[in-house]
């Protein structure tokens, strides 16, 4: 009578352990991808993970698997995602790499934000900052509500001293073109490229934007404008020295404390003429 031979029980357990451990190690190192939808992605990703991928392609299928960690893209470069996007087990969205530099110039105004008084003109510096490329010119377009604001004048600076196109003071649109001298090679630093004078015509909150402004950089035929900051302007009644929207004794206290230094006879006359008025 033939008897079937079985593995000794301890040896059987050892083999099972080795098989199980090897399988676990393999799945940890090379996990099987499985698609998930946008709801699962949104639920599983922390805010910083979504921001890291710029919120792109999260409505397509994703897979859980290990992705090689990539450095954060420098300012002025866009993230290029893997296709499909992937999320590692720590919930960090990885990118395939960084694009070529598409824009590196930022525009802003100073001082900002502006608090000023009705019908009192003020001056703003328009500033350019180059992150990497050399700035060669700005085709400036300032957009605003003509019933609220009026741009009265512009003064170029040594930063962009060449006027290619004279200023056009349109209704709600101000345009001009300023560049570097032909032998300069461009600007790679931060600087004020022009000064503008603005007159507020209406109480309340207003803004000037750089919409459709074009920035040129050396050896490029693309718009080099990376970002621009809208100019926020709040207009108060003259005499509202503490910007409370009410002209009262507290404004007069400020006048007394700064008379002859911060404030003048003109401020005194404005306060007296508008005492008791409120701003929207």
pLDDT at 84 over 70: no
Q: What CA–CA distance (Å, rounded) separates 128 from 165?
A: 19
Structure confidence by residue, pLDDT tens digits, 158-175 = 999 999 999 999 889 999
Q: What CA–CA distance (Å, rounded) separates 278 from 248?
A: 9
pLDDT at 48 over 60: no
Cβ neighbors of 200 (< 8 A, separation 6 or more) are: 116, 117, 118, 119, 120, 122, 148, 149, 206, 233, 235
Average pLDDT over the chain, rounded to an integer: 77
Topology of domain 105-236 in CATH is Immunoglobulin-like (2.60.40)
Nearest to 116 by CA among 204, 198, 234: 234
Cβ neighbors of 115 (< 8 A, separation 6 or more) are: 234, 236, 243
pLDDT at 208 over 70: yes
Q: What CA–CA distance (Å, rounded) separates 50 from 231?
A: 29
Q: Residue 267 is encoded by which pair of tokens? A: 């401020």
pLDDT at 31 over 80: no
Q: Where in the chain is the domain with CATH 2.60.40.680?
A: 105-236
Structure confidence by residue, pLDDT tens digits, 234-254 = 999 999 999 999 999 999 999
Residue 16 banded pLDDT, cuts 50, 70, 90: low
Please tell me whether the overall predicted TM-score, pTM, comes out greater than 0.75 for this model: no
């Amino acid at each position: 009578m033939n008897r079937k031979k079985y593995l000794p029980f301890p040896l059987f357990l050892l083999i099972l352990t080795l098989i199980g451990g090897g399988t676990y190690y393999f799945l940890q190192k090379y996990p099987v991808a499985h698609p998930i939808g946008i709801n699962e992605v949104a639920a599983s990703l922390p805010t910083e993970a979504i921001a890291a991928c710029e919120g792109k392609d999260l409505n397509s299928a994703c897979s859980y698997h290990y992705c090689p960690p990539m450095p954060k893209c420098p300012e002025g470069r866009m993230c290029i995602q893997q296709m499909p996007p992937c999320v590692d087990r720590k919930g960090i969205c990885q990118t395939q790499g960084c694009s070529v530099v598409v824009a590196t110039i930022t525009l802003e105004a100073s001082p900002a934000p502006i608090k000023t008084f009705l019908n009192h003109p003020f001056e703003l510096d328009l500033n350019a900052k180059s992150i990497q490329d050399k700035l060669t010119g700005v085709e400036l377009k300032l957009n605003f509500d003509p019933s609220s604001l009026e741009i009265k004048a512009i003064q170029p600076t040594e930063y962009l001293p060449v006027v290619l196109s004279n200023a056009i003071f349109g209704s709600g649109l101000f345009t001009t073109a300023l560049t570097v001298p032909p032998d300069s090679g461009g600007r790679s630093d931060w600087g004020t490229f022009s000064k503008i004078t603005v007159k507020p015509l209406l109480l309340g909150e207003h803004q000037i934007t750089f919409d459709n402004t074009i920035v040129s950089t050396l050896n490029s035929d693309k718009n080099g404008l990376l970002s621009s900051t809208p100019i926020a302007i709040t207009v108060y009644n003259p005499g509202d020295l503490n910007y409370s929207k009410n002209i009262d004794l507290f404004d007069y206290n400020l006048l007394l404390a700064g008379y002859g230094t911060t404030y003048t006879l003109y401020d005194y006359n404005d306060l007296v003429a508008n005492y008791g008025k409120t701003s929207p």
